[in-house]
């Protein structure tokens, strides 16, 4: 077999076998070239919400291709983008007034950072610091890597990254340290914005914190005149149990970033929502105050049509009820691991469940991660542990039987891995 020239993401090709080709998707499943079926228990990197190839979304994509391909968005607008913007503002926490389109979660956050810095620059106010949370991950562009946790992901690019102020993660019992640190940093008067993943830090290890802390951070930001950016790229679209995680804290961010589930996972698209004040800081007869950001495929009409159809699914189908049921299934099955010494920190937030495998060497590069991933795949499960952190984030169409099978696989695989480790 001729080796593939494709370079896959987050893949060490020297250690991995050649990739199997997926030939079809349907609902909660992936089907490979050998006829194997896999439960997509992580929603293909957290993007698939209602299930693969939802009929309404697929129909909207087909219909859009009859009228559109790409349209330069700096010169024209189009109905899918206009309809989506109106729908997003209605769907999101109240108070957001403008929508800026981009292509991915990384670019949505990059846009947010630039909006925040540009707001104070245009006002001639000396605020140029970004505050982030320890263990955060916001993407792989230079700006979002700068805002993310420093380590193996971005060590080669350290000379290119700009400095940010980091808050300690609000570990249970130590939450006040996080709030005090943010208060102290804000007293400098230089903070433009705080950027956080609300309630759940995803790639940083599925680390959860309370809505009370999120609300307190927003309150401190407001009192000190700095902007609050919510990176809802992963946490949005029902993953934490509500449409957006910010709703659980009763806060509206100044800037909200969304992608992944925006199109139901069907096509790449992102949006950065902001308040009127941020838009107005860039509104001027002076062209130098223009928000200078774009990409070639900004507001692709076909992707926007898919996102409009996704909003219609939320309106027409019992999506919230499915989320509640899926969360209840997690709660039921996680009980089997209570007081199980193989695991630490068994936890859940909405449709996200996570367990830390108790091994001497943890972290993203823990050797148990790739071993478990291969064993899960052998059992028809797409699960990609973050090192020693096992998590599930399945589509909302996943059946109770499939959820039960996923937990059975976790139980079995963990026992086998620990036996190998001990021998």
| Owner of token pair 């902007």 | 227
Whether the CB-CB separation of 168 and 178 falls below 8 Å is answered with: yes
Predicted pLDDT at 210 = 98
The tens digit of pLDDT for each residue in 165-200 reads 999 999 999 999 999 999 999 999 999 999 999 999
Predicted pLDDT at 360 = 86
Closest C-alpha to 405, from 371, 382, 373: 382
Domain ranges (residues) in the chain:
55-316, 319-422
Q: Which residues contact 198 (CB under 8 A, 6 or more apart)?
A: 214, 230, 231, 232, 235, 240, 244, 245, 246, 249
Beta bridge mates, 353: 348, 392
Length of the chain: 423
Q: Distance (Å, rounded) from C-alpha 182 to C-alpha 224?
A: 10
Q: What angle, 0 to 180 degrees and rounded to 10, lies between the N-to-C axes of helices 211-223 and 175-186?
A: 10
Closest C-alpha to 275, from 116, 143, 133, 117: 116
Beta bridge mates, 166: 132
Q: Distance (Å, rounded) from C-alpha 399 to C-alpha 214?
A: 32
Closest C-alpha to 303, from 243, 262, 274, 256: 262
Q: Distance (Å, rounded) from C-alpha 103 to C-alpha 315?
A: 24
CATH topology of domain 55-316: 3.40.640
CATH architecture of 319-422: Alpha-Beta Complex (3.90)
pLDDT tens per residue across all 423 residues of the chain: 688 999 999 999 999 999 999 999 999 999 999 999 999 999 999 999 999 999 999 999 999 999 999 999 999 999 999 999 999 999 999 999 999 999 999 999 999 999 999 999 999 999 999 999 999 999 999 999 999 999 988 999 999 999 999 999 999 999 999 999 999 999 999 999 999 999 999 999 999 999 999 999 999 999 999 999 999 999 999 999 999 999 999 999 999 999 999 999 999 999 999 999 999 999 999 999 999 999 999 999 999 999 999 999 999 999 999 999 999 999 999 999 999 999 999 999 999 999 999 998 888 888 899 999 999 999 999 999 999 999 999 999 999 999 999 999 999 999 999 988 877
The tens digit of pLDDT for each residue in 300-351 reads 999 999 999 999 999 999 999 999 999 999 999 999 999 999 999 999 999 9
């Amino acid at each position: 077999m001729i080796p593939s020239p494709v370079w896959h993401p987050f893949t060490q090709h020297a250690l991995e076998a050649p990739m199997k080709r997926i030939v079809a998707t349907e609902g909660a499943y992936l089907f490979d070239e050998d006829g194997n079926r896999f439960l997509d228990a992580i929603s293909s990197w957290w993007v698939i919400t209602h299930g693969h190839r939802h009929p309404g979304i697929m129909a909207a994509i087909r219909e859009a291709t009859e009228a559109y391909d790409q349209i330069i968005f700096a010169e024209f607008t189009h109905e899918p983008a206009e309809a989506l913007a109106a729908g997003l503002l209605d769907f999101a926490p109240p108070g957001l007034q403008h929508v800026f389109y981009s292509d991915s979660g990384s670019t949505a956050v990059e846009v947010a950072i630039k909006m925040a810095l540009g707001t104070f620059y245009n006002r001639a106010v000396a605020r140029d610091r970004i505050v982030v949370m320890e263990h955060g991950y916001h993407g792989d562009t230079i700006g979002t890597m700068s805002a993310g946790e420093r380590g193996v992901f971005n060590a080669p690019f350290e000379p290119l990254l700009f400095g940010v102020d980091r808050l300690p993660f609000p570990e249970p019992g130590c939450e006040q340290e996080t709030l005090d640190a943010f208060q102290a940093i804000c007293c400098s008067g230089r903070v433009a914005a705080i950027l956080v993943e609300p309630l759940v830090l995803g790639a940083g290890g599925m680390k959860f914190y309370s809505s009370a802390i999120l609300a307190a951070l927003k309150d401190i930001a407001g009192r000190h005149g700095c902007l609050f950016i919510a990176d809802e790229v992963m946490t949005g679209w029902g993953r934490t149990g509500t449409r957006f995680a910010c709703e659980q804290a009763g806060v509206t961010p100044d800037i909200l970033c969304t992608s992944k589930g925006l199109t139901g996972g069907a096509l790449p698209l992102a949006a950065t929502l902001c308040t009127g004040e941020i838009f107005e800081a860039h509104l001027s007869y002076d062209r130098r105050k223009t928000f200078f950001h774009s990409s070639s495929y900004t507001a692709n009409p076909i992707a926007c049509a898919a996102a409009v159809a996704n909003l219609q699914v939320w309106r027409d189908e019992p999506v919230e009820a499915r989320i509640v049921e899926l969360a209840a299934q997690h709660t039921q099955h996680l009980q089997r691991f209570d007081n199980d010494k193989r695991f630490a920190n068994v936890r859940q937030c909405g449709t996200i469940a996570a367990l830390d495998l108790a091994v001497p060497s943890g972290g993203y590069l823990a050797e148990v991660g790739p071993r478990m991933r291969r064993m899960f795949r052998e059992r028809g499960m797409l699960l990609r542990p973050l090192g020693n952190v096992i998590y599930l984030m399945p589509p909302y169409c996943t059946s109770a039987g499939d959820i039960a099978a996923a937990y059975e696989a976790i139980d079995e695989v963990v026992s086998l891995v620990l036996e190998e480790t001990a021998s």
